[in-house]
Chains A and B, each alone.
Chain A
Amino acid sequence: NAGVTQTPKFQVLKTGQSMTLQCAQDMNHNSMYWYRQDPGMGLRLIYYSASEGTTDKGEVPNGYNVSRLNKREFSLRLESAAPSQTSVYFCAGNRDNQGNYGYTFGSGTRLTVV
């Protein structure tokens, strides 16, 4: 199905371990985003990529890195996981020139750091 695909769906890490969350879209989106959502909270922007080859920090970038591998793929890396990074992570994509309209989100990665 067309859309935004995230892998894995669930992950448990030990403190200090590293991992990469993968995101791929087949909707020809120029911009892509990583959000985190803590229990009972709204989504907070971690990093975004306005176009292929560019990345920039959002509200809560500390402890994360990203790579816009190509137009389709935007990965999020945790170099040394901490319990505070336990959250649900959402990747999203959007076509440009549409403001707040037209965002497509993935189904999320539920990450637990113990």
Chain B
Amino acid sequence: LAKTTQPISMDSYEGQEVNITCSHNNIATNDYITWYQQFPSQGPRFIIQGYKTKVTNEVASLFIPADRKSSTLSLPRVSLSDTAVYYCLVGPWNTGFQKLVFGTGTRLLVSP
């Protein structure tokens, strides 16, 4: 699995847009980029996945440049409830069994 690098922590205020960047210089052609969110005292949950360009859902947007060596998770107008750890993972899609390997993630703290 491609190694990922993301900031250890970020701070924001309610109502702001938050962008968390993940570097994955060794991403392979068949790798997808996936983000998980973990609230305190809970297990991680899937929030978004993409291959290239831009993906948007009701929770977040994912921006992936043409070279795919990085990606940016964008959270619009964050609230206190968005305080969580965000994990970036890179790995192939649709290849059968896949172990999920987490890094330390980015700890986002949203303040009033």
Contacts and interface: CB of A to CB of B under 8 A. Distances in A.
Nearest to B48: A101
A102 B99 contact: no
Contacts of A78: none
A10 B34 CA distance: 30
A86 interface: no
A33 B43 CA distance: 12
Interface residues of B, number: 28
Given A94-B98, A99-B91, A42 B103 contact: yes
Contact of A42 (B42, B87, B93, B97): B87
A102 B87 CA distance: 15
A101 B91 CA distance: 10
A23 B103 CA distance: 24
Given A43-B44, A94-B98, A107-B43, A100 B104 contact: no
A44 to B, nearest CB: 8
B104 A42 contact: yes
13 contacts: A42-B102, A44-B102, A45-B100, A58-B99, A90-B44, A92-B43, A94-B100, A98-B93, A99-B93, A100-B89, A100-B93, A103-B36, A104-B45
A13 B12 CA distance: 39
Interface string B53-76: 000000000000000000000000
